[in-house]
Amino acid sequence: MPVDVFPWQTEQWRALLARRDRLPHALLFSGRQGIGKIDFVRKFAQSLACETPAADGAACGNCQSCRWFATNSHPDYREILPEAMRQTESDTAESPGEAEGPAGKRKPSQEIRIDDVRDLQDFIFLTSHQRHGKTIVFYPAETLNVNAANALLKNLEEPPAGTRFMLVSHRPSELPATIHSRCQKIALSTPATEVAAQWLRARGIAEPALSLAQTGNAPLLALSLNDDDFWRQRKALLNGLAQHEPEMLALAEQLRDIHPARLLGWLQRWSYDLLRLRSGGSVRYNPDYQKPLAQIAGRLRAIDLARYHRLLLREQRSVNHPLNARLYLEQLLLGYAAVMRGESVPVAR
Ligand SMILES: [Zn+2]
């Protein structure tokens, strides 16, 4: 059986396969987290390496090359991930992973570092095992730190023969312009609600609407939320936010085990919903909190909300390596309480 992609990817899959022989040496795949970008890219790389692809260009799933892909051992294929993600890589890990090192050891890096790129040079200059060339995937590409990005840039500027680069990014705007300019861009689409809901129902999710609203229709992310912790923590936070005078320090204590990236995501979606309501739109992410959201939006100043939302978006950059996770959490929540009291938001550090 030739490999296949998620139903919402079919059209882009066919279009890309149709030009598989006319590809540039560097591609940048972007799209919302949790829509299956890395799965798509793996299958595409597998198809390019396949010995006997199907008529439409998709990998056969049977040849030696495809068997190597099935066991993650293809000698001409490499995936470069931040150290922290190497155990749990998927399109749904709160990017990058939440892993913490064992006590006493340094935490695994959340970035793709220059050594990770340097280590590739041997791989790049070795002859390919097969005649279809080599593929190197960077995921998520926005985690390349400055030095690593510069090292990669050298390869993109003087592309080594027989090697193609595929960058996969949830947030391509965080990549340097110099990298952008050397990649051909492919924006992978987010599925329509009904397509995503159908896919989730087939996987046993009886009521997919709320999970999809939470994730902006990202089906893989929605599927990964199918755990009690997520919904319990979300409820604790949103109930707290919905209070007239939220007790933020008590709330921070209650939520101390939440990963900051998860908390920030919830706050971003909450403030986004408030902004939408304030400007006459409807709730997008938290339909189950429609009523308290509408009450809060009605009494806040649009300018304060907009400022707080921008602040939360800026926090995205530091959320994976806060100096002190607890303090970070408290600051996010205290900022919200300040907006609720009609005070101006503390300016970002
Ligand atoms: Zn094959």
- pTM equals 0.78
C-alpha 342 to ligand 1 mean position (Å): 61
Mean pLDDT over residues 94-104, rounded? Answer: 45
C-alpha 248 to ligand 1 mean position (Å): 56
What pLDDT is recorded for position 88?
Answer: 58
Asked if pLDDT for residue 169 goes beyond 80, the answer is yes
Asked if pLDDT for residue 95 goes beyond 80, the answer is no
Confidence tier at 87 by pLDDT (50, 70, 90): low
Confidence tier at 23 by pLDDT (50, 70, 90): very high
C-alpha 57 to ligand 1 mean position (Å): 10
The residue ranges of every structural domain in the chain are 7-187, 227-340
Confidence tier at 96 by pLDDT (50, 70, 90): very low
C-alpha 58 to ligand 1 mean position (Å): 8
C-alpha 118 to ligand 1 mean position (Å): 30
C-alpha 16 to ligand 1 mean position (Å): 17
Confidence tier at 91 by pLDDT (50, 70, 90): low
C-alpha 19 to ligand 1 mean position (Å): 18
CATH of the domain spanning 227-340? 1.20.272.10
CATH architecture of 7-187: 3-Layer(aba) Sandwich (3.40)
Query: 3-state SS string over the chain?
Result: CCCCCCHHHHHHHHHHHHCHHHCCCEEEEECCCCCCHHHHHHHHHHHHHCCCCCCCCCCCCCCHHHHHHHCCCCCCEEEECCHHHCCCCCCCCCCCCCCCCCCCCCCCCCCECHHHHHCHHHHHHCCCCCCCCEEEEECCHHHECHHHHHHHHHHHHCCCCCEEEEEEECCHHHCCHHHHCCCEEEECCCCCHHHHHHHHHCCCCCCHHHHHHHHCCCHHHHHHCCCHHHHHHHHHHHHHHCCCCCCHHHHHHHCCCCCHHHHHHHHHHHHHHHHHHHCCCCCCCCHHHHHHHHHHHHHCCHHHHHHHHHHHHHHCCCCCCCCCHHHHHHHHHHHHHHHHCCCCCCCCC
C-alpha 29 to ligand 1 mean position (Å): 23
C-alpha 202 to ligand 1 mean position (Å): 28
